[in-house]
């Protein structure tokens, strides 16, 4: 159909009117016309574009329904990194932040810009000559995902900025979120369609924004509030952060209606209290308040630390609590053998997140809480930390509530569970056999100070276990070149070299072999003492606690760990396999005393050394018969002090323990060769 100037002008006029009213409605919360009139204008534009499709362009208000589905998101490198914020968990931490800022700026009082911390997804919008050309997620702060198609569907984000004085390039940062009402409506719809409900508005927003099909995003009630800028080219930047935000609003971008400018920390604390009291009545979820130094020049002076600015902080809201019931308790085995009780709860929403599990930490905590299966409990979730059971509602305890029993055997491998005196953690004693500990046990076995298997790194160990090529350390020694070369990033040459390295590692020492077994709390010094005083593997495996305690460096807890380890048939089987596959060492004569010149002396090392590592210093002492411990006592002979020593140096002086600097220590080592 032939186009006339009148039609072209009509389409242009309708587009401009609708974009203007979108900004009035979403950015300024000040609609100028009734919804019915807006709908009439939109319908008129849709009719004209259907009749004259050649007039449709990317900036048309009708083009917020989504484009063709993507196969994957592209990557966007942020020209200026999108940094995270440091957190203040209470009033004291906020006061400390303010003190640091005032001291750095050498002023008595600082003016801050404040705004709610939205619980959504951080994004960056790039406008060129006022037109939205690119949008990306925060990602890792340096590289994010290209979500331009999805962002274009959000009505509170203008496709073209208002005004004449617009920078040639303007990068805007903000938070995409889902309002509470929109979240509730979305979940109701999901339920009627038989789908899986979203746990909270943040998850719903993140899931909606990361749809490869932007037409799905277009149907989700997403909104955006802007809180800052990134790259700006050919544009004036105001001297105050608060003025930058005001300018963004003038350009048609939505900013927080709750924002404020505050003088000093006392006004910040009052603002925090005021907003905290009205938090539940806000139309969106917030999890704290963000305070930023208002003067841009001051922000530049303060700079950055790590991945966060020194001029901003987020004060988080206190923990949120709910009641629920304890359905059961499972015991999970960690990679180091620690066994942790995990509470299985009746699902409950706490702080916007559905929680069904919580750690009970250990049996001592269970006894402290006097918690039983069937109890009603109070669950707390503070920020993003793991939910915590803080107490039991005793008045609601049912008569059928059952006590939680400590497991006697590992739920994964069936080995005995130990709990040494004076310790709180339960532990599986099947270190070489237990599937839960398999990866860590093999990594330790292959490490430099143990069997020192060259070329067998942590990632390769994980591959071998994941592919079920090895089930315990002994299986390493029957690996074939063709098995290894089939692994990812392992060619035939690398595989052959590893097989040779495995063969070379079979010749070791009894000390290294004992250390490689990963017995709880048996380090290099203890392994050395065992090999020196007992002489043979059979003698070590057969020693009882009384015999072990007679050996210097071995106390009751370590002795119990050694006996428990060798008591497990699974561990003995692996040790026998290792010997069968050729692991061996030269016999050394049994010594009842260490022959080193520093025999019996106790050292503690603290701080950073410049001439050697702390591990090297420890090894030098052990070779000379000394004992190295981690804590200062009256029995300590010397404290070796490096840079930034901490409290140990003070304690040594209080106890009268001689302190050596690194130069004095090296002289002592040289003297006692």
In a 13 Å sphere around the CA of 603, the CA atoms on its Cβ side amount to 25
R_g of the chain, CA atoms, integer Å: 33
Say how many Å lie between the first and final Cα of the chain, rounded.
Answer: 100
Stretch (H or E) spanning 277: helix 264-277
- CA geometry: angle at 98 spanning 93 and 101, to 5°? 125
For 652, the token pair is: 């040594």
211 CB neighbour count, 10 Å cutoff:
20
Contact present, 11 and 48 (Cβ < 8 Å): yes
Stretch (H or E) spanning 123: strand 121-128
Contact present, 638 and 664 (Cβ < 8 Å): no
- Closest to 512 in 3D by CA, of 572, 412, 584, 565: 584
633 vs 422: CA distance, rounded Å: 19
In 43-120 the beta strands, taken as DSSP E runs, fall at 75-77, 86-88, 111-118
The owner of tokens 């804590």 is 631
Residue-wise burial string across 73-107, b where 16 or more C-beta atoms lie within 10 A, e elsewhere = beebebeeebbebbbbbeeeebeebbeebeebbee
SS3 content of the chain, % helix, strand, coil (to 5): 40, 25, 40
Contact present, 123 and 73 (Cβ < 8 Å): no
Active-site entry in 6, 43, 99, 117: 117
For CA atoms 537, 538, 542, 547, give the dihedral sign. Answer: negative
Contact present, 45 and 88 (Cβ < 8 Å): no
- Closest to 309 in 3D by CA, of 477, 87, 507, 629: 87
For 61, the token pair is: 């208000």
The alpha-helical segments, DSSP class H, found in 545-634 are: 545-549, 556-567, 569-580, 614-623
- The whole-angstrom distance between residue 252's C-alpha and the CA centroid of its chain comes to 36
For 73, the token pair is: 């998101």
Known active-site residue 635: no
CA separation (Å) from 210 to 46, 146, 153, 291, 294?
27, 10, 12, 29, 33
Give the residue numbers annotated as catalytic, written as ranges. Answer: 117
């Amino acid at each position: 159909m032939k186009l006339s100037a009148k039609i072209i002008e009509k389409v242009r006029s309708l587009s401009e009117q609708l974009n203007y009213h979108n900004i009035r409605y979403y950015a300024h919360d000040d609609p100028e016309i009734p919804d019915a009139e807006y709908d009439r204008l939109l319908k008129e534009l849709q009719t004209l574009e259907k009749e004259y499709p050649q007039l449709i362009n990317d900036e048309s208000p009708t083009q917020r329904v989504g484009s063709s589905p993507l196969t994957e998101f592209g990557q966007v490198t942020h020209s200026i990194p999108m940094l995270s914020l440091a957190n203040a968990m209470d009033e004291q931490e906020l006061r400390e932040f303010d003190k640091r800022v005032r001291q750095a700026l050498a002023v008595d009082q600082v003016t801050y810009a404040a705004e709610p911390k939205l619980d959504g997804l951080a994004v960056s919008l790039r406008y060129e000559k006022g037109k939205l050309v690119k949008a990306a997620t925060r990602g890792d702060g340096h590289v994010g995902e290209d979500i331009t198609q999805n962002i274009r569907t959000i009505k509170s984000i203008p496709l073209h900025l208002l005004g004449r004085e617009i920078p040639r390039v303007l990068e805007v940062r903000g938070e995409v979120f889902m309002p509470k009402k929109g979240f509730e409506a979305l979940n109701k719809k999901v339920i009627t369609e038989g789908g899986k409900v979203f746990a909270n508005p943040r998850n719903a927003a993140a899931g909606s924004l990361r749809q490869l099909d932007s037409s799905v995003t277009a149907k989700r009630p997403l909104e955006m509030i802007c809180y800052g800028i990134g790259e700006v080219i050919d544009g004036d930047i105001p001297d105050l952060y608060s003025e930058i935000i005001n300018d963004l609003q003038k350009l048609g971008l939505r900013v927080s209606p709750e924002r404020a400018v505050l003088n000093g920390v006392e006004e910040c604390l009052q603002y925090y209290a005021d907003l905290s009291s009205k938090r539940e009545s806000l139309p969106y979820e917030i999890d704290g308040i963000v305070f930023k130094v208002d003067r841009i020049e001051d922000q530049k002076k303060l700079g950055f630390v790590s991945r966060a600015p020194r001029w901003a902080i987020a004060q988080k809201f206190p923990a949120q609590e709910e009641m629920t019931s304890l359905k059961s308790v499972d015991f999970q085995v960690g990679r180091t053998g620690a066994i942790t009780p995990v509470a299985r709860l009746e699902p409950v929403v706490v702080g916007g997140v559905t929680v069904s599990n919580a750690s009970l930490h250990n049996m001592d905590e269970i006894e402290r809480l006097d918690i039983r299966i069937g109890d009603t409990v109070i669950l707390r979730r503070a920020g993003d930390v793991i939910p915590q059971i803080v107490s039991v509602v005793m008045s609601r305890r049912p008569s059928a509530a059952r006590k939680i029993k400590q497991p006697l055997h590992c739920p994964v491998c069936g080995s005995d569970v130990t709990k040494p005196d004076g310790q709180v953690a339960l532990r599986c004693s099947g270190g070489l056999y237990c599937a839960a500990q398999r990866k860590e046990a093999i990594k330790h076995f292959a490490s430099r100070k143990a069997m020192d298997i060259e070329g067998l790194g942590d990632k390769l160990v994980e591959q071998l276990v994941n592919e079920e090529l090895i089930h315990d350390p002994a299986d390493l020694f029957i690996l074939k070149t063709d098995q290894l070369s089939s692994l990812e990033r392992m060619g035939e040459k690398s595989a052959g070299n590893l097989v040779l390295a495995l063969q070379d590692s079979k010749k070791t020492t009894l000390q290294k072999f004992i250390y490689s077994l990963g017995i709880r709390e048996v380090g290099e010094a203890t392994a050395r003492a065992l090999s020196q005083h007992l002489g043979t593997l059979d003698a070590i495996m057969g020693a009882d606690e009384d015999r072990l305690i007679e050996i210097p460096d071995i106390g009751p807890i370590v002795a119990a760990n050694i006996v428990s380890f060798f008591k497990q048939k699974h561990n003995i089987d692996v040790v026998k396999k290792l010997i069968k596959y050729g692991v061996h060492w030269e016999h050394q004569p049994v010594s009842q005393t260490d022959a080193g010149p520093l025999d019996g002396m106790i050292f503690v090392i603290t701080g950073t050394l410049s001439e050697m590592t702390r591990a090297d210093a420890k090894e030098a002492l052990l070779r000379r018969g000394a004992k190295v411990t981690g804590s200062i006592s009256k029995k300590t002979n010397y404290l070796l002090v490096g840079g930034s020593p901490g409290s140990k140096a003070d304690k040594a002086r209080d106890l009268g323990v001689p302190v050596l600097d690194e130069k004095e220590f090296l002289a002592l080592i040289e003297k006692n060769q």
